[in-house]
Every structure is written in C-alpha cells, then in structure tokens.
Amino acid sequence: MEKKVLVVDDEERVVQSIAGVLEDEGFLVAKARSGEEAIGIFQQEKPDVTLLDIWMPGMDGIEVLKRLKWIAPDCQVIMVSGHATISTAMAAVKSGAFDFIEKPLSLDVLVTTIRRAIDRQKELLAVERSEEIVIEEPPPQKKIVFQREMAGESIPTFLSPPQEKVPSPREISKRKLTSLSLQRTLKRSMVLYGTGLHSGMKTGLLLQPLPPHSGILFGNISSDEVVPANLKYVHTTEFATSLKRGRAIAKTIEHLMAVFHAYRITNVMVKMIEEIPIMDGSALEFCKIIEEAGVEEQEERVDELVIDRRLEVVHRNKSIVIEPSEVFSVYYYLDYPFPIGKQSLDFTLENEEVFKDQIASARTFGFLKDIKMLERMGMGGGGRLHNFILVDDEKIVNTELRYPDEFVRHKILDLIGDFYLLNCPIRGRVTAHLTGHTENIALMKKIQEEMREKER
C-alpha cells in the first residue's frame, strides 16, 4: 500500500520540488502552502507523515505542529527549516516532532527520515494491536505468531537484514572480531541546550538517528559540513578533545563520546554550534537524554577491536598502557597536591547502568591558579560555580564532592570518551598514571598503527 506524505511549505517551488522527489520514490503526496490549509488537508487526507516547514507567514510551523498533535497525538511530523537554530530545533522536538532536518534538503536524508517516521508509525500500531490481543487473551501460540509479525514490520525499510553468517572467532583475525552485538542508534531526535565550557557561548545539541555504518558524526546546526568522530580528525587535546575537518569543528566532545561508548551508540548525528555544552560538568545529562530518546538496535553487527599484545606510551612522569583482556577496563592512578592527593580506581565498562552509577556524574575540575592562564588563552569562559569543581591550595572552593574520589572518576570518564574515537568497542585493559587527553590519543594512534601493520 502506497504511503502518503503531506508537504507543507509557503514556497511553491519548494513544494513542487519535494513532491516530485517523493512521487519518484513511490509516495503519494498531498500539498499545503499555509498552516491553516495544512490542518484542513491533514484532517481530510490523514497522511502517514507530514513534512512541515517551520517559518511560514501567519500560523508558523511550531503552532501547526501543536495543532496536528492535538488532532492525532501519534502522528509523525518532520520539521524543516532553512534558518535553523538550537532553540527552534528544541521547540520542534519538544512539541512532538519526529525529527528535524535542514534546507537545502539532501535527497537521501529526506527519504530516509520519512521512511523512519513510517516505521515508527508501524511500531505504534503494533503496540496498539498487541494490547488489544492481550485484552482478548488469545491462545498463547497465536500471540507468539502475532508478536513475531509485528517485530518484522518494525524493521526500518532502508535497512537490509544481514545475509551473512556471523563468523566464529577462529574464522577471523585476532585483531578484528565481529561481535554478536548489533549496531545502535537512537529511536528519535533529541535536543539539549547549554553553554560551552571553554568558549562560554550558548550552545546545544540536536541528536539525530542515523542508519547502520554511518558512524558518529558532528556537524554545525547551520551547515551541512560534518566531522566524523574519528582519531584522524583530532585537532587539539589541550584541556579537552576537539575535532576538525574543513570548516566543521567539534570541541569538548569527550563526555558525550563516553556516553555513546557506554550505551554502545554507533550511528548518530550530533548537530551543535562548535562546542558540546558542559551541562553540570559531568556526563549525567547526556545519559538522561539518550535514555529519553531510547536506543534502537539495528540489523548490522558491530566490529570490535581485540588487543593482542601490550602497548605503552610514556611522557615524562605520565604513562598509559593497554594489554589483552576479554572486556574494556581502566585502572587509573592520579597524584595531585593537597587537597586532591592520591586517588586510584579500577573500573570495568560492563554496561550503561554501571557507567551511569559509578562514572557519569563525576564532574570536570580545575585549579584556581590556572584560571588566569585559561582566560588569557580565551578558554574557560563557560566555567561556572555549578559546572566545575574549583580547587585552590587548601580546599575545594565551590561545591561538595559527589564521590570522595570524584577526581579520578572524572579522569576515567574522559578516557572512556577518548577511546571511542577508534570507531569501535575495544577489548583491552588500560592502566593510566597521571595521563590526560594527549596521552590517550597518543596510545590510540599506536593501536591504530598496529592495526595497519597487521593488515599488511
């Protein structure tokens, strides 16, 4: 059965262009050129998906969205804008939009997003039917068959089921292992608003699901340029890990990357304004937004990197080592002057719950003596009393610690984030002594060199 898309935009040229593309892809298309007209056509045509421009004269897209969600709470609406900001994206997603995409529209992104919205509608219908069957208490065998049919329907149309048999460890190399885990993305788009730690600028995040093998991509909210979360594009490690490719910049990514690592998110678009917001100085808010969005397992499997020999990086009194292990674990030791002192922790990244409980809420920290230096460098502008543990020669100045050893826990948080820049989970045990982002990246480059040598 052909699916119907309602296209709402006040520009005739845009409506006709989008309609032509969608009809070529096999969709039925209804058209509206104002918010008022869109509401009437929506009630009459009952489209599967509505593609709705935000900026229109009269009733704007956000108001139309609210009206459509009032008429049909489960309707799937994709917002479109050519003048996007974090604030407008946030308003759209919080008002119930399925997703938010920007002009000029990419054909692939447009069609993929519409198909994802249709699949989401199928999932909602499946839940409703399942609830009806449970109420009627059908025979157990019929109920099982029905659930399997619904699960099959929920597979996104742009994904193809895996055809190959998953190889056993003996059938593949020691360096790369195709695991039994599936790739993961988010179930829906989410928006988070905040301030950049080092820039001091108002910023935010728009997180968008991506299909398998897309990877983690960072892009500017008003540009189509992106930089992959890849070791190749590490631009600086001074006080934070930042990426750059062309004009695409992603600063202070380590806390968000740690959450992607812990929740095993492999495919996601991160739209922002240059720097990831610092939030409360920890990764806890990022955990919450991932959980609110929901995690969707995809049809392709994840490649893991298996460490098969000891590798080490030493910089003066700092050292970091990785050795073979069945899981990813970190032992970190730090030694700072009073009032921090010596702290150590042994942590195994078993799952997201353990990460959230033991590591995610540990906040970033710094020393009073370093503030003037950061200011001279144009950094630290977003540091506030509520998002930064400030330490002087005698005491912690501005807050109560969440853990007695919060400092070492935060170091592990940063390390977990940095180590996801190899684009795959790692099986290995890391032992770190007084290290930071620079040493983390140096060890990963050594791991990458080893991988290339093995492949020759």
- Contact in structure between 211 and 158 (CB atoms under 8 Å): yes
What average pLDDT does range 292-315 have in this prediction?
93
**Quick one: pLDDT at residue 83?**
64
pLDDT, tens digit, 9 for 90 and up, residues 122-136: 877 776 666 554 444
- Contact in structure between 320 and 439 (CB atoms under 8 Å): yes
Cα→Cα distances 367→111, 241, 384, Å: 50, 19, 13
CB neighbour class for 451 (10 Å; exposed up to 12, middle 13-18, buried from 19) = middle
pLDDT at position 274 over 60: yes
CATH H-level superfamily of 180-455: lpxc deacetylase, domain 2 (3.30.1700.10)
* Predicted confidence band of residue 40 (pLDDT cuts 50, 70, 90): very high
In the chain, the percentage of residues whose pLDDT exceeds 90 is 49
- Contact in structure between 223 and 247 (CB atoms under 8 Å): yes
- How far does the chain reach from its first CA to its final CA, in angstroms? 50
| Of the options 3.20.20.70, 3.40.50.740, 3.40.50.2300, 3.40.50.10160, the CATH number for the domain spanning 4-120 | 3.40.50.2300
**Quick one: pLDDT at residue 113?**
85
> Which one-letter DSSP state was computed for residue 170?
G
Q: Domain ranges for the chain, please list them.
A: 4-120, 180-455
**Quick one: pLDDT at residue 203?**
63
- Contact in structure between 429 and 331 (CB atoms under 8 Å): yes
**Quick one: pLDDT at residue 395?**
86
pLDDT, tens digit, 9 for 90 and up, residues 198-246: 444 566 788 888 889 999 999 876 666 899 999 999 999 988 999 999 9
Say whether 300 sits in a helix, a strand or coil.
strand
Judge if pTM exceeds 0.75.
Answer: no
Catalytic residue among 198, 261, 410, 437: 437
pLDDT, tens digit, 9 for 90 and up, residues 382-423: 444 556 788 888 888 878 999 999 999 999 999 999 999 988
pLDDT, tens digit, 9 for 90 and up, residues 176-206: 566 678 999 998 888 887 664 544 456 678 8
**Quick one: pLDDT at residue 134?**
46
pLDDT, tens digit, 9 for 90 and up, residues 314-347: 988 999 999 999 999 999 999 998 889 999 999 9
The number of residues in the chain equals: 456
For 208, the token pair is 């968008």
- What distance separates the 2 farthest-apart alpha carbons in the chain? 72
- Contact in structure between 269 and 158 (CB atoms under 8 Å): no
In the residue annotation, 83 being an active-site residue is answered as no
Helix axes 437-455, 406-418, angle to 10 degrees: 30
Secondary structure of 354-421 as H, E, C letters:
HHHHHCCCCCCEEEHHHHHHHHHCCCCCCCCCCCCEEECCCCECCCCCCCCCHHHHHHHHHHHHHHHH
